[in-house]
Amino acid sequence: MSPHFASRCTLVGAGPGDPELLTLKAVKAIANATLLLVDDLVNDAVLAHASPTARIVHVGKRGGCQSTPQAFIDKLMINALHEGERVVRLKGGDPFIFGRGGEEVEHLRAAGIDVEVVNGITAGLAGLSSLGASLTHREHAHGVVFVTGHAKPGDSGTDWPQLAATARQAKLTLVIYMGVSSLEHICQGLLSGLPAQTPVAVVQNASLPTQREVLTTLGELVHNVQSERLQSPSIIVVGDVVQGARAWQRVDSNPSVQRVA
C-alpha cells in the first residue's frame, strides 16, 4: 500500500453528551466505520449509529483519570488503517477544542494517512447555552477565550492574573475546561484582575439529563462549588454574559449560589 494518503481516518466530535446534538456528517461517518476508537466522555447512545458489524474499542482519555497512552492510540489507528479498516476516532465535544485532535492529525499525516475532521459542539458552548445565555452577548462581551485549567506535565500553565487583566480590559468571556481540580489556584489568580462580583457559571455534564449547575460570583466560586459537590467534567464560564442565564439573580449585597432546576 502506498504510504501517501492511501488510507483515510476520520476524527469525529461526538458533542457534549446529548446524542441529538450530533451533526448529520458525524452520524454518516460513524455508520460507515468498521472500527471506532471511542473516548470516555462519549455518550454510549451515540454508538447506536454504528454498524452492527463495526468493532468498538474504548480508549479512555479523561483528565485526572487513568488514560490510554496516546502513543498506543496512534499505533492502533495506523495499523488498522494499513489493514484497510475505515477508522473513526470518536471524541467528546469537538476534536480540536482540547481534544488532542491536532496532535493526532499531525501524527497520522506524518504516517501518510489522510485525515478528515468532523466538528462537534464543544461543551464550553453547550454548557452556557443550556442555561439560556450567550458566550458573546454584545452588551456584555467583545469576545471569548477558551482556556484549559489543566496544564500538561512540565508546563507552567496559564498565567491567570494576566488573563484576568486582559479579560477585564478587553471585555472577554472566559471559558475554562478541566478547571475543577485546580479551582482554588485559578480563582486566586483571576481575583487579582477581576472583581469578586464577576458572575460565574459552572456546568457539570452539560446537555445530559444528569447536568448540574451553579450560578455564583468569582468571590464565592470555590465555596459554592465545594458545597454543591460539583465534579469533572465541568465547564466554568466567567464573565458578565452569565447574567443572561435564566435563573441568574443579582444579589449585590450577599452574592450566593443559585441552583438551576
Q: How confident is the model over 185-215, as pLDDT tens digits?
A: 999 999 999 999 999 999 999 999 999 999 9
Q: What is the pLDDT of residue 248?
A: 81
Q: Can you give the chain as a three-state secondary structure string?
A: CCCCCCEEEEEEECECCCHHHCCHHHHHHHHHCCEEEECCCCCHHHHHHCCCCCEEEECCCCCCCCCCCHHHHHHHHHHHHHCCCCEEEEECECCCCCCCHHHHHHHHHHCCEEEEEECCCCHHHHHHHCCCCCCCCCCCCCEEEEEECCCCCCCCCCCHHHHHHHHHHHCEEEEEECCHHHHHHHHHHHCCCCCCCCEEEEEECCCCCCCEEEEEEHHHHHHHHHHHCCCCCEEEEECHHHHHCCCCCCCCCCCCCEECC
User: Best-predicted range by mean pLDDT among 100-104, 156-160, 197-201?
Assistant: 197-201
pLDDT tens-digit series, residues 119-146: 999 999 999 999 999 999 999 999 999 9
Strands 113-118 and 7-13: parallel
* Among the ranges given (3-17, 74-88, 143-157, 182-196), the one the predictor scored with the smallest mean pLDDT: 3-17
Q: What is the pLDDT of residue 66?
A: 56
Average pLDDT, the chain: 90
Residue 261 predicted with pLDDT over 50: no
Residue 10 predicted with pLDDT over 50: yes
As a whole-number percent, the residues of the chain with pLDDT over 90 amount to 81
* Distances in whole angstroms, Cα of residue 20 to Cα of each of 33, 46, 72, 192, 246: 19, 9, 31, 40, 22
Residue 118 predicted with pLDDT over 60: yes
As a whole-number percent, the residues of the chain with pLDDT over 70 amount to 90
Position 89 confidence tier, pLDDT thresholds 50, 70, 90: very high
Q: Using alpha carbons, select from 28, 19, 240, 13 the residue that is nearest to residue 104.
A: 13
User: What's the whole-model pTM score?
Assistant: 0.89
Residue 252 predicted with pLDDT over 50: no
Query: Residue 204 contacts by C-beta under 8 Å, 6 or more apart in sequence?
Result: 210, 211, 212, 213, 230, 231, 232, 233, 234
Q: What is the pLDDT of residue 54?
A: 97
Q: What is the pLDDT of residue 92?
A: 95
Cell of 159: 498565567
Residue 65 predicted with pLDDT over 90: no
Cβ neighbours of 48 (radius 10 Å): 10
Give the residue numbers annotated as catalytic, written as ranges.
39, 61, 178
Residue 253 predicted with pLDDT over 70: no
Query: Residue 196 contacts by C-beta under 8 Å, 6 or more apart in sequence?
Result: 217, 218, 219, 220, 255
- pLDDT greater at residue 159 or residue 152: 159
Q: What is the pLDDT of residue 157?
A: 85
- d(Cα 62, Cα 27) in Å, to the nearest integer? 23
pLDDT tens-digit series, residues 12-50: 999 999 999 999 999 999 999 999 999 999 999 999 999
- d(Cα 178, Cα 151) in Å, to the nearest integer? 9
